[in-house]
């Protein structure tokens, strides 16, 4: 079927014609439809019962071309199928952290899913300095379950190999291969540098053999290591939160890849939030200053420091929580099956030794991918609001250089960084350093 964007009336009629959706929306006489997509890739709508607006769904339509450009930039017609399949798979593993898919229509490149009306995008929440007390626990649970249950540690080998094949997502992987692992290290037309960003930093990046070797290794791993079904784009803009709940959305980049890629994405975005705190704290301070109250001001200062600590603490808690849960799922599974991935362990020390090495390698890979993801956000095309919202050009450049230096060290030193605590120390040291 050829793609056609629906008018609001057409979408309304369509939704009412799907019995399950019609029931879910409380058999609406009329629907309020609002287009809310960002306009790059997809069409996204909220559809609510006009009379009972709390009965509401999200409709996502992924045309087989780049919406921003049009039909002259075709994308696979299977894009939406991939996302639906990933949402259903992750939803089965982690129903509390994945929006439900109510209805999918491959012919129309469309799906109807759970509306998260009391949640906001995590990146925005972090920029506003909001503490989410359950975030780390939720994200580590999500990561442990999705990464473990898609892998050879759990699945039968033939089932896993079929899953690899079913999840091939060449076009969206190509975007990552180019925009994360290649273009940022070239004088590529798609790169964007902020006004005050020192040119010497970019040159250094391009010409450092140690860094380029490390990034090359991460690119090779991304393209070859079919370890588990990944989200594939797990930055803080793909996470919706409130004080009680955490949902991971938009897995359209899902494919079988290296586990560290999802973990690294989360760590990278927390570190970017951390380094950009200088600006967002200043914003808070300014607001506070308006009250002209020294005591309030001091309190705000303390809060800012506490928020920075909280951000780094999230990185620690997410890695530790993830690693513990992942290892626990693995142990439980092997104890239930009465066998280990490595085979029987008569000595009793080998299975745990392998698990420890596995987690250590996964940690190193996560740091490497985190480094790549941070770099692409600084010198590549797609930025993050944490940084781009910094209006002071000099301050923004400082934040960017710090993020870049941190990323470089994560990549180059990933095999010698012993623990997440060392990552935190590294981030603090870099934050305390003045780069010219």
What does the binding site for a copy of itself look like in residue numbers (CB under 8 A)?
152, 157-158, 160-162, 164-165, 168, 170-171, 173-174, 177, 181-183, 185-187, 203, 206-210, 212-213, 215-217, 219-220, 223-227, 341-347, 349-351, 353-354, 357-358, 361
CB of 202 to a copy of itself, least distance (A): 10
- Our CB check for a copy of itself shows the closer of 168 and 395 to be 168
Going edge to edge, which strands form the sheet with 43-49? 31-35, 43-49, 56-61, 110-114, 101-105
- Our CB check for a copy of itself shows the closer of 134 and 219 to be 219
DSSP state of 7: P
* C-alpha span between 60 and 111 (Å, rounded): 5
CB of 215 to a copy of itself, least distance (A): 7
- Our CB check for a copy of itself shows the closer of 142 and 222 to be 222
Q: Which of 34, 31, 60, 61 is nearest to 46 (CA)?
A: 34
Q: CA–CA distance from 232 to each of 169, 296, 381 (Å)? A: 10, 42, 18
* C-alpha span between 430 and 403 (Å, rounded): 8
Residues 145-182: b if buried by 16+ CB within 10 A, e if exposed:
bbbbbbbebbbeeeebeebbeebebeebbeebebbbbb
230 Rama sector, left if φ>0, alpha if ψ -120 to 50, beta otherwise: beta
* C-alpha span between 269 and 429 (Å, rounded): 18
Mapped onto helix, strand or coil, the DSSP state of residue 200 is helix
- Our CB check for a copy of itself shows the closer of 178 and 282 to be 178
- Our CB check for a copy of itself shows the closer of 124 and 182 to be 182
Residue reference for tokens 């803080």: 236
CB of 400 to a copy of itself, least distance (A): 20
CB of 197 to a copy of itself, least distance (A): 18
Count CB neighbours of 65 within 10 A: 18
- Our CB check for a copy of itself shows the closer of 199 and 434 to be 199
- Our CB check for a copy of itself shows the closer of 173 and 329 to be 173
Residues 6+ apart with CB under 8 A from 171: 75, 76, 79
CB of 199 to a copy of itself, least distance (A): 13
CB of 169 to a copy of itself, least distance (A): 8
Q: Are 319 and 363 in contact (CB under 8 A)?
A: yes
- Our CB check for a copy of itself shows the closer of 129 and 260 to be 260
CB of 168 to a copy of itself, least distance (A): 5
Residue 239 backbone phi and psi in degrees, to 5: -125, 130
- Our CB check for a copy of itself shows the closer of 179 and 385 to be 179
CB of 412 to a copy of itself, least distance (A): 12
CB of 93 to a copy of itself, least distance (A): 19
Residue reference for tokens 């759990």: 154
């Amino acid at each position: 079927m050829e793609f056609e964007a629906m008018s609001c009336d057409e979408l309304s009629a369509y939704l009412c014609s799907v019995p399950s959706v019609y029931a879910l929306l409380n058999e609406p006489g009329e629907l309020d439809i609002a287009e809310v997509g960002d306009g790059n890739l997809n069409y996204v709508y909220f559809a609510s019962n006009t009379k009972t607006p709390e009965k509401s769904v999200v409709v996502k339509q992924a045309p087989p071309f780049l919406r921003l450009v049009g039909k002259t930039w075709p994308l696979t017609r299977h894009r939406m199928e991939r996302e639906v399949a990933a949402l259903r798979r992750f939803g089965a593993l982690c129903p509390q952290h994945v929006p439900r898919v109510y209805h999918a229509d491959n012919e129309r490149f469309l799906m109807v899913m759970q509306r998260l009306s009391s949640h906001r995008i995590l990146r925005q929440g972090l920029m506003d300095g909001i503490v989410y007390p359950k975030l780390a626990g939720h994200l580590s649970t999500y990561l442990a379950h999705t990464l473990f249950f898609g892998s050879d540690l759990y699945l039968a080998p033939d089932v896993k190999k079929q899953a690899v094949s079913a999840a091939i997502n060449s076009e969206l992987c190509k975007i990552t291969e180019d925009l994360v692992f290649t273009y940022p290290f070239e004088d590529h037309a798609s790169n964007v540098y902020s006004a005050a960003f020192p040119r010497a930093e970019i040159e250094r990046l391009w010409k450092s053999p140690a860094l380029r070797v490390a990034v090359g290794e991460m690119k090779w791993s991304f393209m070859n290591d079919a370890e588990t079904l990944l989200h594939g784009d797990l930055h803080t803009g793909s996470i919706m939160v409130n004080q009680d709940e955490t949902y991971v959305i938009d897995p359209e980049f899902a494919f079988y890849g290296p586990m560290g890629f999802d973990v690294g994405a989360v760590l990278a975005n927390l570190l970017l939030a951390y380094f950009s705190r200088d600006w967002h704290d200043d914003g808070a301070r300014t607001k506070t200053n308006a009250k002209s109250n020294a005591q309030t001001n001091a309190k705000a200062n303390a809060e800012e420091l506490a928020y920075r600590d909280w951000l780094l603490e999230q990185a620690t808690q997410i890695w530790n929580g993830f690693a513990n849960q992942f290892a626990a799922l693995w142990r439980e599974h092997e104890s239930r099956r009465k066998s280990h991935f490595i085979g029987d362990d008569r000595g009793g020390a080998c299975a745990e030794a392998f698990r420890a090495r596995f987690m250590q390698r996964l940690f190193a890979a996560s740091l490497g991918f985190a480094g790549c993801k941070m770099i692409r956000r600084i010198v590549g095309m797609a930025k993050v609001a944490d940084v781009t919202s910094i209006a002071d050009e000099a301050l923004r450049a400082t934040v960017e250089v710090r993020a870049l230096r941190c990323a470089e060290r994560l990549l180059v030193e990933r095999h010698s960084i012993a623990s997440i605590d060392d990552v935190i120390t590294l981030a603090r040291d870099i934050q305390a350093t003045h780069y010219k």
